[in-house]
Amino acid sequence: MMKPAHVSIRAVGSYVPPKRVTNDELATTVDTSDEWIRSHTGIGARHLAEANEATSDLAVGAVKDLLRRHGIEKESIGAIMVATATGDFPGFPATACVVQDKLGLSLVPAFDVAAGCTGFIYALEVARGLVSNGTVPSVLVIGAEKLSAVTNWSDRNTCVLFGDGAGCVLVQGASESEGTIIDSVLHAEGSGSGYLCIPRGGTNISTELVEGDDGTKLHMDGRSVYNFAVRVLGEVIEELLSRNQMTIEEIDWIVPHQANSRIITAAARRLKVDQKKFFMNIEDYANTSAASIPIALREMEEEGLLKRGQKIMTIGFGAGLTYGGNLIQW
């Protein structure tokens, strides 16, 4: 297989469950309020999957949206990669393999990427490598999460933050530079791995837990994660600019992981960047982890905000602690 001149994003798609839960509705079962949630996070509602709806079902919904909207045949998919922290099964088989089966695609490579909320950023760069090396002609990169399944719904500090959904992009070789993935940076700080995690469920059985907590739900040190996110969001933007000899004025859009509006506000203030340059849709979807950036890209495309030739940064940060970003010419 010949190596392509460029590696581009050809199409985007997304899917969120129909069930929409507003802050007021959540406040009927949790000691919270719409005013508190909005003022602390910027979230107004979230979409939640049904009990019998798996992460792979959300992923397939996003893929079908991409194929339908862009008139693409599924047979053109050369590989499937799912970025997720809430896969169908603990460890194996990979959720991507389940997606492959549900789509009726046989033999194409399928695997998962586990990098928390930064998963889509990592997966996009892995896809770029596979395509640029001529290993496969295209990669379907999916970010999909059913966070409602691992949320402690009695913890008012964390349960208000998360939602379910999936987004995807088709990455393929191209002769022209439209949609090109120009550069990526990937980092991790493992010393903070305990700040955002599910303590039990893998091979770690040494974690001490408080009475009545089995450790199988998501735990977060909110202050530590907030400080980390504000710091690295700015660092990634500055690193991508420096590596590519660009100024912030040359960037049309910054599409960050949708974790908390206050993180974006604080980072923009530190960078002295107009917050309007950051696309945000957390109000309608809450934090969907690895799915948040592709869901945002799909919404931006639908609203006509993405124009050919624009320079876009996608920035992720989250569990791991992982962080990174992609520079894309749309």
Q: Is the confidence at residue 90, as pLDDT, over 90?
A: no
Q: Is the confidence at residue 208, as pLDDT, over 70?
A: no
Query: 6, 47, 219, 257: which one is catalytic?
Result: 257
Per the annotation, the verdict on 117 as an active-site residue is: yes
CATH assignment, 181-329:
3.40.47.10
β-pair partners for 322: 188, 318
Neighbours of 212 (CB within 10 A): 6
Q: Is 272 left (phi over 0), alpha (psi -120 to 50) or beta?
A: left
Query: 23, 281, 287, 326: which one is catalytic?
Result: 287
Percent of the chain at pLDDT exceeding 90: 86
The per-residue pLDDT for 142 is 98
- Encoding tokens for residue 171? 């990455």
Tell me the average pLDDT across 162-188.
Answer: 92
Q: Is the confidence at residue 179, as pLDDT, over 80?
A: no
Return residue ranges of the chain for CATH 3.40.47.10: 6-176, 181-329
* Domain topology for 6-176: Peroxisomal Thiolase; Chain A, domain 1 (3.40.47)
